[in-house]
Structures are given as structure tokens and as C-alpha cells.
Structure 1
Amino acid sequence: MTQPTMPAMDERPIEELAPEWIDSAVEVITPDGSTVGFRLARYEKTTRDGEPLWLLFSTEQPWRIEVGAGAVVRFTPRPAVPGPAAGFGPAPVVSPTPVTAPVAPTPLNPQSWVIAPPAERR
């Protein structure tokens, strides 16, 4: 039985971060030396005290990590998928015939939800 091969990680400086990295598995080294891995949902480039700063947001949990200039980011490039759905999951399935909701037997209105009390027996 053969082991599945892991895709190769590519190392790039944070300055090369590009929209093509969105939805890629990335690893960054935090300022305290820890390595954090996550799937990149989005990023922002800003400055703090005149220094460039990148905010990387995860797809899994609503959290972010801040990375300064000169940081190295490892990421797994996504396989090339032709078509507009590349990187965004499978393409939607479109039915060749229109889909319609079933027609209600009687028109619905607020009164149709009221249940009349049972008739009294004499």
C-alpha cells in the first residue's frame, strides 16, 4: 500500500502575498517563534508606526495573525483547475429544467393557520 504524497510547500516572503494565495493552506512563524498553519480566507496590508503589516485571516475560525515585513510564509499551491470555479469548490450543478415549488391546495393566509375549536355536542 502506498502512502499519499503531500503537495510540496512553497516558501515566499510575505511581500509576495497575492490574491492567488486565497484558499491555500499556509504556515507562518509568529513573532514568538511558533508555527501556525491554517487556510487563508483573506488578507489586508496596512502599516503600523510606519512599518508594513499584513493581517492574515483564517477560514476555519474567526481569527487573524499579524505578520511583519521580511516574514517567510510557506503555502501549498492549489492545483490548477480550469474554469471560473477554480479554488472555490466544485462548480454548481444546474438543472436543465426549471424547478418550481408545489402548488398549495388552497391559498394560504393568516386565518388558514387558525384551528377552529371542536363543535360542541348536544
Structure 2
Amino acid sequence: MTRSRMTETPIEDLDPDWIGMRIEVDTPDGGQVGFRLARYEKTTRDGEPLWILFSADHPWRTEVTAGAKIRWIHRPADPGRSTGHYLPQQQYASPVTAPPAASVTGPLSPNSWVTPSVPGAR
């Protein structure tokens, strides 16, 4: 049995390859938060570097300053799962299409432009 191990990396090493990873960081108020990284922004506040990390799971964010550490777990390979940090792209089984403009009659509603791609489906 292979065991997971935790790695600690400085926030300064954060790059786009980390998007989609589950990470944990210490917050400025002394707490710890773990989440899947959706995106991040690097900026400055009062001349000091600042990273704003956005969660993929819930609509919230946290801010960390230079010197902060990101923790993430190396998990053993699972033959049934894809490898890499990125989330798999969702595949849609039945696309929707817009009807030709000439076929639209009557009042429009927010859903009036969408028609099912399968005849008879609603």
C-alpha cells in the first residue's frame, strides 16, 4: 500500500498548473482553509505582493501574502482516475440549438431560443 505524502510549497511558486488542485493554506487570521483552486490573482497592496485565491467548490476567496505556504497531498496513483492537476472537462450528451430567426413567432421568453436537439423531447 502506497501512502500519501504532503508537500509544502511557497506561494511564490504558484502557477497556472496548480489550477484544479486541492490545496490548503494558512489565512492571515491564523486559520487554515482547504479547497480546490479555481483561479488566482497576483497583485500588490501597499507595495507588498498579495495572492487572491478563488475556490472552485464554493464562491469564496482568500488572500495570502508573500511567504505563505501552500500544502498539497501527493496521492497514490489510482488506475481508475486520470492523472494530472486539471479537472476533466464535462461532456454534454445532447447539445441544444437555436431555431432559425424566421421560425420564431409569438412573444419571447428567456427559454424561447432553446430547442431540444432530439425531436419530440421537452
Measured against the shorter chain, the TM-score band is 0.5 to 0.7
- Superposition deviation, residue 88 in structure 1: 2.9
Q: Which amino acid aligns with 2:19?
A: I
AA in 2 matched with 1:12:
T
Kindly provide the amino acid, as one letter, of the partner of residue 88 in structure 2.
G
Report the Cα distance in structure 1 between the residues aligned to 2:61 and 2:3, rounded to whole angstroms: 26
1:81 to 67, 73, 83: 83
Separation in structure 2 between the aligned mates of residue 27 and residue 90 of structure 1, nearest angstrom: 23
RMSD value over aligned CA atoms? 3.4
Say if 1:20 and 1:6 are closer, same or farther in 2 by CA, change over 3 A: farther
Name structure 2 gaps, 5 residues minimum.
97-102, 107-122
CA distance in 1, matches of 2:15, 2:104: 53
2:22 aligned partner, one-letter code:
A
Who is 2:57 aligned against? 60
Asked whether the 8 Å contact 1:21–1:77 carries over to 2, the reply is no
Q: What is the CA–CA distance in structure 1 between the aligned matches of 2:34 and 2:89, rounded to whole Å? A: 24
Count matched residues: 95
Give TM-score scaled by structure 1 length: 0.62
TM superposition score normalised by structure 2: 0.62
Match of 1:12 in 2: 9
How big is the shift at 1:50? 0.2
For 1:15 and 1:90, the matched residues in 2 are separated by 28
What SS does the corresponding residue of 2:5 show, helix, strand or coil?
coil
Percent identical residues: 51
Q: Does structure 1 residue 51 correspond to structure 2 residue 53?
A: no
Alignment counterpart, residue 21 of structure 2, candidates 21, 24, 32: 24
Question: Residues 81 and 14 (structure 1 numbering): CA distance in 2 closer, same or farther, change over 3 Å?
Answer: same
Q: Which runs of 5+ in 1 are unaligned?
A: 102-107, 112-122
